[in-house]
Chains A and B, each alone.
Chain A
Amino acid sequence: MSDVPALKVSAIVKTYHVGTALTNIFKGRKNRHTTLTALAGVDLELRRGEILALVGESGSGKSTLAKILVRSIRPTSGELFYGGRLVPAKRTKDATRRIQIVFQDPYSSLNPRLTVKAMLAELLILHKIVPRREVRAESIRLLNRVGLEESALDAYPSQFSGGQRQRLAIARALAVRPDILIADEPVSALDVSVQATILELLTSLQRELGLSILFIGHNLAVVQHLSQRVAVMYLGRIVEVANTEDLFANPRHPYTRALIESVPRMTERVEDEFVIKGEPPSPLNLPQGCRFHPRCPYAVDACRTTDPPLMHVEDWHESACLRFEELPAFSSVRAR
């Protein structure tokens, strides 16, 4: 069954309780809002062998979702399906093995006191990936897979550059032979000239190992280059999902449009017809109705009262905008 998604999340909600500040208690003031909504009902499918990009501004809940997917944190409610089967709240060792993550900052995500050999051997032995005597051979194979030499085995993370460390983090994620790789802003901390090699590596992993990759990022140029599908997040909700080409050629949510308009370009600058004002509201105090309406130039009365769900626009394209049909035509392709 090829149409069963590799990973599916359904109605994931994550809220945090924020205590009243001590100073406010002394002043006799009570905070009115004590619940922070990080994720407000997220539905998403990661298909087999695709690279799905998740974009959105800081605070939109991208990384919270990533952490829920690898079970670093528990969702408040909602379900997670792996290959069509519900993943229980307490995961088995095998279930954790299948979903691996690469973090943004390769300087803090590797243990500085473990050599590369020890780091990989620990995983290979714990998860019984290969017999003990083949651990070294398997480690070398992994290093070669991510473009590092055998000589890296005895080195510590501090001896590597940022790009090499990110390769090590990828090798570590691949060691347990996962089906799904979550890449949480893996190139944001790297220089441009190094960034390209990591993107290339991710593409080759997808092609050669059939890995399904959820790529979290905020650089739309990178996302457009790398992914097959894009999901746009805003304040804990997915507001638009579409194939990459579709999304950029025909965005059907004003927020997606605003993001596209904001990308710095290498072409001549054109006068903006569409600029959104202000900043995202606080997740402690979400607006009534559509969460984007305070910044949206197309907002009408209905937007202030109705919180729109993701709606079908056309095949493989969904938008959470009440007025998606009425939005003026727009395309990221500029006249040159």
Chain B
Amino acid sequence: MTETPLLSVRNLVLGVVRRGRPSTIIVDDVTFDVAQGELFGIVGESGSGKSLTLRAIAGLLPGGVEIISGSVEYKGRNFTSMTSGERRALMGPEIAMIFQDPMTALNPVVRVGEQIAEGPRRHLGLSKKDAMDLAISMMAKTGIPDPIRRAKAYPHELSGGLRQRIMIAMALSCRPKILLCDEPTTALDVTLQHQVLGLLEEMCANFGTALIFVTHDLAVVNETCKKVAVMYAGRIVESGPVRSVLRDPRHPYTKGLLDSAPDFDHPDRMLKSIPGFPPNLANRSVGCSFAPRCEFAQPECVASSPQLEEVGPDRLSACFEKFTIFEGAHA
């Protein structure tokens, strides 16, 4: 028996509930565990439900989207049955989040030092002065030059890279056990992306923080995470250790993603795009949602939906044909 995971998402179903009509399922039956200090990536294209899954964990679902069934358990306590007060006490010291766009996520009319200090004052009970000292030391740790002066700046006075560092300093100021990252580097330039990813990794290692990292960039996942789940149309279609999933995919969608992205180390490889479009979630078919775009689709793929099944050590794939398609691949 392994120890209980830090965070455990069980059969999570998210959707838009509408009176008199069947609800639209956006995230369907998502299950995964994150252990202490684990670096977990979720990849998928826009509309795959990866960001919503993350927001459900943070309790920040947009209006209209509800948890229809399933649970999110943190250290064995179920989020969905907590009061908002109990939940708020967890956000910050236990779970923190970093958003894609640091301009809209920061409060434009509060100095950044005070924004960072707010969490420690509330959750760690620090005095105003101690909290500000902590904020400044966190800013220094994230590599912000001249933190004492910068702490008095407003978000608009800082560049994109610095704002993202402020977000990281804020998220880590209470030493959370889990850091949720929603495409934290997508809005940044490559050299800054490189710096921020390195910083995240270093900070998580120092504080023993687990990371749940949502992105659409496979190469970023490869460099940042240890485990990965690939989402398509609201479902996890494949999961496992990053190395083995990306080297040796066992789901046609993962393979399609890998084949369609230019690889910096293989510039001459032909790109192969995935034909067709993602399905309309309001009108799901009974079969595998990838079947209409899948070159390997069989009649059974249209008739019923495949479940996640083990395909190797710690690896799952939701494909009926997983053993026939990838037969030649070594385990």
- The answer to whether the Cβ of A284 comes within 8 Å of any Cβ in the partner chain is no
Are B189 and A199 within 8 A (Cβ)? no
B265 contact set on A, CB distance < 8 A:
265-267, 333-334, 336
A276 contact set on B, CB distance < 8 A:
191
10 A-B pairs in the complex with CB atoms less than 8 angstroms apart: A192-B218, A193-B45, A196-B260, A196-B262, A196-B272, A220-B264, A224-B264, A264-B217, A264-B219, A264-B223
B218 to A, closest residue via Cβ: A266
Measured between alpha carbons, how far is A330 from B198 in the docked complex, in Å?
21
Are B271 and A200 within 8 A (Cβ)? yes
| Binary flags per residue of B176-200, CB closer than 8 Å to A gives 1, else 0 | 0000000000000111111101100
Binds B, one of A7-15, A65-73, A255-263: A255-263
Measured between alpha carbons, how far is A195 from B262 in the docked complex, in Å?
9
Output the least CB separation between A142 and chain B (Å).
21
- The answer to whether the Cβ of B105 comes within 8 Å of any Cβ in the partner chain is no
Are B191 and A191 within 8 A (Cβ)? no
| Binary flags per residue of A144-176, CB closer than 8 Å to B gives 1, else 0 | 000000000000000001000000000000000
Measured between alpha carbons, how far is A195 from B263 in the docked complex, in Å?
13
Output the least CB separation between A154 and chain B (Å).
20
Measured between alpha carbons, how far is A278 from B143 in the docked complex, in Å?
9
Measured between alpha carbons, how far is A228 from B161 in the docked complex, in Å?
31
Given contacts A191-B46, A192-B261, A263-B190, contact A224 B222 (CB under 8 A): no
Measured between alpha carbons, how far is A278 from B160 in the docked complex, in Å?
12
Are A192 and B257 within 8 A (Cβ)? yes
A193 contact set on B, CB distance < 8 A:
45, 256-257, 260, 273-274
A333 contact set on B, CB distance < 8 A:
265
Given contacts A191-B45, A200-B273, A262-B190, contact A221 B262 (CB under 8 A): yes
- The answer to whether the Cβ of B267 comes within 8 Å of any Cβ in the partner chain is yes
Given contacts A220-B264, A221-B263, A279-B159, contact A197 B194 (CB under 8 A): no
Measured between alpha carbons, how far is A200 from B271 in the docked complex, in Å?
8
A221 contact set on B, CB distance < 8 A:
219, 261-264, 267
Output the least CB separation between A328 and chain B (Å).
19
Tell me the A residues contacting B by CB distance below 8 Å: 57-58, 161, 191-197, 199-200, 218-222, 224-226, 244, 248, 258-259, 261-267, 269, 275-279, 332-334, 336
Q: Count B-side interface residues using an 8 Å CB cutoff.
A: 38
Measured between alpha carbons, how far is A275 from B143 in the docked complex, in Å?
14
Given contacts A224-B262, A275-B194, contact A265 B219 (CB under 8 A): yes
Q: Which of A57, A58, A192, A332 sits near B260, CB closer than 8 Å?
A: A192
B263 to A, closest residue via Cβ: A266
A187 to B, closest residue via Cβ: B262
Q: Which of A269, A277, A334 sits near B223, CB closer than 8 Å?
A: A269
Q: Which of B189, B222, B264, B265 has the most CB of A within 10 A?
A: B264
A258 contact set on B, CB distance < 8 A:
191
Measured between alpha carbons, how far is A143 from B162 in the docked complex, in Å?
44
- The answer to whether the Cβ of B111 comes within 8 Å of any Cβ in the partner chain is no
Q: 14 extra interchain contacts, Cβ-Cβ under 8 A, other than A218-B189, A225-B262, A279-B192?
A: A192-B260, A193-B257, A193-B273, A200-B273, A220-B264, A221-B219, A224-B267, A262-B190, A262-B191, A264-B223, A266-B222, A269-B223, A276-B191, A333-B265
Output the least CB separation between B200 and chain A (Å).
13
A225 contact set on B, CB distance < 8 A:
262, 267, 271
Measured between alpha carbons, how far is A240 from B79 in the docked complex, in Å?
54
Are A218 and B190 within 8 A (Cβ)? yes
Are B45 and A192 within 8 A (Cβ)? yes
- The answer to whether the Cβ of B220 comes within 8 Å of any Cβ in the partner chain is yes
A269 contact set on B, CB distance < 8 A:
223
Are B191 and A220 within 8 A (Cβ)? no
Measured between alpha carbons, how far is A196 from B257 in the docked complex, in Å?
10
Are A265 and B257 within 8 A (Cβ)? no
Output the least CB separation between B151 and chain A (Å).
18
Output the least CB separation between B184 and chain A (Å).
13
Output the least CB separation between B103 and chain A (Å).
13
B216 contact set on A, CB distance < 8 A:
191-192
B195 contact set on A, CB distance < 8 A:
275, 277
B193 contact set on A, CB distance < 8 A:
262, 264
Measured between alpha carbons, how far is A219 from B161 in the docked complex, in Å?
18
Are B219 and A259 within 8 A (Cβ)? no
B220 contact set on A, CB distance < 8 A:
264
Are A197 and B273 within 8 A (Cβ)? yes
Measured between alpha carbons, how far is A332 from B267 in the docked complex, in Å?
11
Are A58 and B262 within 8 A (Cβ)? no
